[in-house]
Structure formats: structure tokens, C-alpha cells
């Protein structure tokens, strides 16, 4: 866990903004528009283009949608930090990269009406992108990975785990699935001999039990 997540957030945002600015200014003063420098012929080039849309050249000529999306993103990040107060490095780094990438492209549009793109990955005919776009993509990937597998909000790793759950958990969950009362479930769980060998459930039974236990935990929250 991070001791000072806000400082890490701020440092990443500043660093990524400066990196984006330096790369764009270097391209602006050393290359001609539409000039392409092959670093790996036919696979990866440095190509100077101006993007009048959003990230990865989408929403050409519809910048009002982009600015509306940036406003929504700002509200979501503020809400997330005030409500979650993250201390894990993945959501901190993820949100910082997304914010830095969005700010980097927004500054370009406000100052010049377009964004400088440079990285031209031609192996799969991908859209030309920049450092800010990389931040947005990597940041979203980190944040979603944390939310799905590590945050506890969506416990996919627990749900699909092949680890044996306890007899009491299994009996209680399956009893609830059959509509039995909590008292009946406890009685069933208590009826399992303490010295009995572990019950070996099938994968389907384990999955059903975990689903019911997960739903029960969510209802209690």
C-alpha cells in the first residue's frame, strides 16, 4: 500500500505531461508535416501528422464531444478519489496516466486546435498516436485490471478459484440457493461431522456456492 498516494498521483501527472510536451515540441521543431522516419521499415515509423479529432484520430470535427468527455472524466476522477481514497499503486497510477493524457491532448486543442501525433505502428495499420494516447490506454488498462481482480468490488478471482471452500460455506450457500432459511442452513452446516473428511465438490457446485455467497455478501453490504 502507498503511504502518500496523492503525491504519487501528482508526480505521475506532471511527469507524463512534461514527457508528452517534450516529445511533441521535438517533433514540431525537427520534422516537417507528414514526414515519416522509418525506425523499422514497414512496421514502426515516426510520422508527423496533426490530429483534429480525439485520441487515435477519432471524432474528427466533433471536438465538443471530446470536451464534454473530458469534463465527465474530471468529475469521475474527483468522485473516485473522494469516495475510494485509493492506496494501491494500480488505481493511483492508472487514474494519473488517464488524467495526464487527457490534459496533454486538451492543451494542444486549446492552443493550436489540433494534436501532434507521431507514433506510426504500421504492422497492423493502426492509427498514429502520441504519448498522451499511450497514457490514456495504459491508465485505463491498469484501472480496469485493479477494479476487476484486486479491488474487492468484483471478486472474479475468488469466484473462479478452484480452491476448496469450507463445508459450512458450501452447505450454507447451497441451502440459500434452495430457498431455505438461515436457521435451516446453520442446522445443515452443523450436521456435518467435524471429524469428517473434506467434502469434494465439483467445479460446478463450487461455482454455484461462490455465486450464492457473493450475492449474499453484496446484499449485506
Shared domain for 100 and 174, answered yes or no, is no
More confident residue, 188 or 73: 73
User: Residues 37, 79: one domain?
Assistant: yes
Put simply, whether the predicted model's pTM sits higher than 0.75 gets the answer no
User: Is 178 an annotated catalytic residue?
Assistant: no
Given 108, 117, 120, 167, the catalytic residue? 117
Tell whether 138 and 178 lie within a shared domain: no
- Predicted pLDDT at 25: 94
Mean pLDDT of the chain: 77
- Our answer to whether residue 117 is catalytic in this structure is yes
Question: Which residue in 20, 108, 133, 167 is the catalytic one?
Answer: 133
> H/E element holding 136?
helix 131-149
Q: Are residues 192 and 146 in the same domain?
A: no
CA distances 163 to 59, 147, 160, 169, 201, Å, are 47, 22, 9, 13, 10
Domain ranges, residue 147? 5-154
| 29 or 162, higher pLDDT | 29
For 112-152, the pLDDT digits (tens) are: 878 899 999 988 878 889 999 999 999 999 999 988 887 76
Amino acid at each position: 500500500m502507498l503511504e502518500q498516494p496523492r503525491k504519487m498521483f501528482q508526480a505521475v501527472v506532471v511527469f507524463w505531461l512534461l514527457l508528452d510536451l517534450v516529445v511533441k515540441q521535438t517533433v514540431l521543431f525537427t520534422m516537417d508535416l507528414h514526414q515519416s522516419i522509418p525506425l523499422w521499415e514497414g512496421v514502426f515509423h515516426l510520422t508527423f501528422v496533426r490530429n483534429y479529432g480525439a485520441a487515435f484520430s477519432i471524432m474528427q470535427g466533433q471536438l465538443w464531444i471530446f470536451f464534454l468527455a473530458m469534463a465527465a472524466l474530471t468529475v469521475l476522477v474527483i468522485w473516485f478519489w473522494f469516495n475510494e481514497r485509493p492506496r494501491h499503486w494500480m488505481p493511483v497510477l492508472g487514474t494519473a496516466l488517464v488524467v495526464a493524457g487527457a490534459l496533454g491532448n486538451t492543451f494542444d486543442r486549446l492552443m493550436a486546435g489540433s494534436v501532434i501525433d507521431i507514433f506510426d505502428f504500421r504492422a497492423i495499420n493502426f492509427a498514429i498516436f502520441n504519448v498522451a494516447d499511450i497514457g490514456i490506454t495504459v491508465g485505463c488498462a491498469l484501472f480496469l485490471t485493479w477494479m476487476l481482480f484486486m479491488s474487492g468490488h468484483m471478486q472474479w478471482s475468488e469466484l473462479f478459484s478452484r480452491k476448496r471452500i469450507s463445508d459450512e460455506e458450501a452447505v450454507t450457500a447451497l441451502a440459500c440457493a434452495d430457498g431455505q432459511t438461515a436457521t435451516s442452513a446453520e442446522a445443515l452446516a452443523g450436521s456435518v461431522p467435524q471429524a469428517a473428511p473434506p467434502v469434494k465438490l465439483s467445479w460446478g457446485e463450487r461455482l454455484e456456492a461462490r455465486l450464492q455467497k457473493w450475492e449474499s455478501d453484496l446484499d449485506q453490504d
